C-alpha cells in the first residue's frame, strides 16, 4: 500500500460534494487522467448519496470513508454506514430498483457505480449498516 486516508462525515447532503472532492484530491497523487478522476467522483457521489438518502433516511448518522492507494494505479474506496442496511443486496443492485419511488429516485446508483469502477463490492446487514467498496485501476482496465 502506498498511502491511506480515513475520514468520517455526518450524513448531511452538503457533505456529498465534500466527500467526492476529498477522495478525488487524495487519488490525484496517482496521476490519473481527468476522465478517471471524474469517474471516481461520480461513483463516490452515488455511494455517499445512498448513505444519506437510504441508510439513515430521516436521521443523521456517520459516513465512514477509507481510501487506499496501491502500486499499479489501484485505488480501493470503502464507504460504510451504520444505518438500516439493505434487505436484499442482489435485488438492490438491479437497474431501476428503488425503495424510494415516492421521492422520484431512479434506482440507478449501483449501476452508475459499476459503470465507472472496475469492481464494486456491496455487503450489508439489516439493522447494522452497509459497506460499498469501489475498485478503480488508473491507466487502464
Q: Per-residue pLDDT tens for 7-17?
A: 999 999 999 99
- Cα(51)–Cα(85) distance, integer angstroms: 10
| Structural domain spans, the chain | 3-137
CA nearest neighbour of 116 among 86, 81, 141: 141
pTM, entire model: 0.89
**CATH tag, 3-137:** 3.30.565.10
Q: 29 or 94: whose pLDDT is higher?
A: 29
Q: What are phi and psi of 87, to 5 degrees?
A: -65, -45
Q: Is the pLDDT of residue 76 over 60?
A: yes
| pLDDT score of 41 | 98
Identify the residue whose cell numbers are 477509507: 66
Identify the three-state secondary structure at position 17: helix
CA nearest neighbour of 24 among 64, 71, 75, 80: 75
Tell me which residues are annotated as active site.
Answer: 46, 50, 105
Amino acid at each position: 500500500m502506498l498511502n491511506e486516508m480515513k475520514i468520517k462525515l455526518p450524513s448531511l447532503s452538503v457533505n456529498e460534494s465534500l466527500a467526492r472532492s476529498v477522495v478525488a484530491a487524495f487519488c490525484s497523487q496517482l496521476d490519473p487522467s481527468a476522465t478517471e478522476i471524474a469517474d471516481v467522483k461520480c461513483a463516490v457521489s452515488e455511494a455517499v448519496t445512498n448513505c444519506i438518502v437510504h441508510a439513515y433516511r430521516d436521521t443523521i448518522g456517520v459516513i465512514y470513508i477509507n481510501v487506499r492507494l496501491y502500486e499499479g494505479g489501484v485505488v480501493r474506496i470503502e464507504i460504510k454506514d451504520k444505518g438500516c442496511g439493505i434487505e436484499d443486496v442482489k435485488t438492490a443492485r438491479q437497474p431501476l430498483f428503488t425503495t424510494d419511488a415516492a421521492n422520484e429516485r431512479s434506482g440507478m446508483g449501483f449501476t452508475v457505480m459499476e459503470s465507472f469502477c472496475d469492481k464494486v463490492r456491496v455487503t450489508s446487514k439489516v439493522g447494522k449498516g452497509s459497506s460499498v467498496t469501489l475498485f478503480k485501476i488508473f491507466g487502464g482496465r
